[in-house]
Structures are given as structure tokens and as C-alpha cells.
Structure 1
């Protein structure tokens, strides 16, 4: 889902729109990371939420969602600081890739290959999770680990979109500030914690996706495409807007 560090030697090169061989190789690595990451996320959903009984209380579901969300945040940290993550940048999130491009930290020629890799990674991860975990992955409360809004928000796409956009705007804003003003801070931990906390706060309310690819694969397999546009477009809008604002007027706090 994230982030953060591109090698200066790569960034310093020209930015033609046509991907180079190195960009294709990096995109292949991004596909592998995204697939592994989302398989882990879907597995956590399968066992953390999919095992809840039909009579589970709202409190129990919130607690389960909070545990899964914080584990996802820690998984993000692990992927980002891993050797493959340091190589590709471990974006694993189209909103992050586009925000880093707007920010000037990802070459334009690498954007499309990364987006394709992230989309295909989501679909592949959902398929592998179904193969590994069987019908339980697709049935019952798991439903391919698709993100859904809480009760009463089914028809309020604007609320879901606003929450998704605000989350990415905040995360990208903090990310840009740390890169500019506190480069010695452990940015992977900060970003991972923020993604985890947004799931704790919003998971049982809007679904707490915060990643277009997170929703795409499960939505396609489950047929749950209601509010899909909000989950796909709002995080991108929020992240890009925050990156654009940070580039025009860097924060000086």
C-alpha cells in the first residue's frame, strides 16, 4: 500500500513516457510484492473476520476489524523494509504511485507499468486466496474479502468517497512532510501505522479500504461492485491532491 523511498540514482534520470527495461523489471517486482501483500491481507480477513459467528456483536466485529487492520499495517512495514520492497519502492497502491509521481519522486514512464502491476496483483491475490483457502474464502462473511460500508451507508457514496479521499490526503501529506522535514524519521513505520489506524477507525464504518487495488480484485470476484467507483477513485483524488499541494507549498511546521 505504500510507499516511500525511490533511489536517487533512478530519479535523477530523464523522464520519458516510454518505460525502459529497468522500469518493466521493477513493475514485475511490484506485481510480485502486490500479489504477496494482498494475499496476506485477504488471508487475515479470512481468518480474522470470516470466522465470526452469525450472532457476533458489533463490538466483537469492531475488535476483529481493529486487530486485522493493525496487522495489515505491520505487514505494510515488513514489505516496505524488505529487500524487494526497497528495490521497487513497495507502493502496492495506485494512489501512492500517482501521488509520488505528482510529487516528482516517481518517473512518469514508470507510472503505467506500476498501475498495471498493482491491478493484476490484486486479481491474482484474490484468485490464489480462493485456491488456498477454498470455498470459505468466497462464502459467508468473508466474501472474497471485499470491502463494504457499514449498515446505513449503502446508499451514501459521497460519505464513503469523502472518507477514502481524506485518509489518503492525510497519509500522503504526512509522508511528504516527513520526507521534506524529518528524513531521519522511520517513514515506513509511520505510514504503516497510519494505514492500520485508518482501518481501526473506519473499518466498520466505510470499510477502510484506502487502496483502489485492495478493493478491485475482491469486488470483481464477488460481484460486489456497489460503490466501487468511490473506492477506486476517491483515494487517488485525495492522494494526488495532497501531493500537488505539498509540491506547490511545502509544509514548514
Structure 2
């Protein structure tokens, strides 16, 4: 398997299982309706863990353009692979979101809330404030990349790292995710948002494009900041 295909598959797994948990909690008539934030955050953490187990040995399991860009800018990832990784990540997120739509097909029509349908696919602010929302994504992604780098600097028993990174996602979600839904990954937000835009979802409403740049720009800035802090403090 090529590393690009691995990034596609890994990101698809994250979105299928992560957005699937959100769909189960928000859409009308599912057996998991109203499961709540804790269930959603745990599901995202487990999704990332499984994706890393699936493709980590092949591509390094970036699964996130913010991580790929940060590693490139710090000299830890070759320039000629950056575009391919990012394209694969966005494509995987887009296809993963389509699979979520298919899986929950009967429930879209039963759900009256357009905002809940959008939330299945992408993030949105609890309180809409451009500066505050951007800062939230910068901080959360900075923590993500900083922590991934110091986790990688330690020696653990074989197979433990994906579990630790999954726990990191859960920690970020529980601690910092309540403001914006913790995108911390441009592909995770923009790919599914595009799927929401083009899919024939009854009563879906707007895809909120005016907000869409925040979960893209914020994670990229945060990822670079987190990588720079690691280099400055530990290297």
C-alpha cells in the first residue's frame, strides 16, 4: 500500500467512526440518540487509535494536514510528499462523510433540525466569535501537535503509541473541545462540510461557509506553533 492510499484510508476511518458517533447522538430515531458529548469525544479518540493502528506503519499516520504541514516546516517531512498527503487526507475525509450519510440514510428525513444535520459533518462554535473561535482551534491543535511530538520522543512498549494518541484526542476533546467542537484537523472539517454541501440531504440548510475557514486556518497555525514549541523546548 502506498503512503498516500494509507493516509486516505486512515482519514476515512476517523471520519466514518467519528462522524458516525455524532450522527448516532444527534439524528432522530437512532438507538444512540442523545448519547451526549462524552460518548462523542470517546468515539473520536477510539477512531484515531484504530486509524493509527491501521496505517501508522505505512504512512506514519499523519491523517491531518496540520500535522503534515507542521512536520514539513520543522524539517521532519519531505516537501515532495506534502501535497500528496494533504490531498489524500481531504479525499478520505470526504468519502468517510459520504459513508456516514449512507449508513444513516433513513434518519436524515426524520430529523427536523438543520443545525444537527450540519453538526454530523463538521464543527461549529458554541458561541460565535471569530477571534475566540480561531484562538480555540489554534490552542487545541497546538496542544495536539506538541503532545504528539513529545509522545513520539519517548520509548513505549510496541503498539502503545496509538492508544496514547487516542487518549490525547479524548483529553483535548473533554478539556478544550466545548468551544468549537475541536476540529484540530482541516481535513476532518472541510472534507465532510463539502460532502454536506453536495449530498441530497432533506432539509439540510446552509453548510455555514462563513465559518469554514476557522477550522482550517486555526489548526494549521496551531500545528506550526506546537511543532515550533517542541523544537524550541526539547530539541
Give the structure-2-normalised TM-score.
0.81
Distance of 1:51 and 1:203 partners within structure 2 = 24
2:18 corresponds in structure 1 to 41
**Partners of 1:70 and 1:197 within 8 A in 2:** no
1:117 corresponds in structure 2 to 88
2:61 corresponds in structure 1 to 90
3-state DSSP of counterpart to 1:224: coil
Deviates more, 1:69-78 or 1:140-149: 140-149
Task: Choose the corresponding residue for 2:117, options 124, 134, 142.
Answer: 142
2:148 corresponds in structure 1 to 175
- Deviation at 1:197? 2.2
**Partners of 1:49 and 1:65 within 8 A in 2:** no
Distance of 1:98 and 1:191 partners within structure 2 = 19
| 1:183-230 superposed Cα distances (whole Å, 9 cap, x missing partner) | 337432232212122222344422221111111123222422232111
3-state DSSP of counterpart to 1:40: helix
- Deviation at 1:239? 0.8
3-state DSSP of counterpart to 1:227: coil
Say whether residues 1:187 and 2:132 are aligned partners. Answer: no
Q: How does 1:1-16 map to 2 (within 5 A)?
A: none
Distance of 2:43 and 2:94 partners within structure 1 = 21
3-state DSSP of counterpart to 1:91: coil
Task: Choose the corresponding residue for 1:71, options 40, 43, 47.
Answer: 43
2:79 corresponds in structure 1 to 108
Deviates more, 1:131-140 or 1:232-241: 131-140
- Deviation at 1:162? 0.6
Say whether residues 1:31 and 2:31 are aligned partners. Answer: no
Deviates more, 1:111-120 or 1:168-177: 168-177
3-state DSSP of counterpart to 1:123: helix
1:224 corresponds in structure 2 to 208
1:16 corresponds in structure 2 to none
Q: How many matched pairs?
A: 216
- Deviation at 1:128? 2.1
Gaps of 5+ in 1: 1-21, 54-59
| 1:132-158 superposed Cα distances (whole Å, 9 cap, x missing partner) | 3215358532334321111xx22x011
**Partners of 1:99 and 1:240 within 8 A in 2:** yes
Give the structure-1-normalised TM-score.
0.75
1:164 corresponds in structure 2 to 137
- Deviation at 1:52? 8.5
2:234 corresponds in structure 1 to 251
Say whether residues 1:207 and 2:181 are aligned partners. Answer: yes
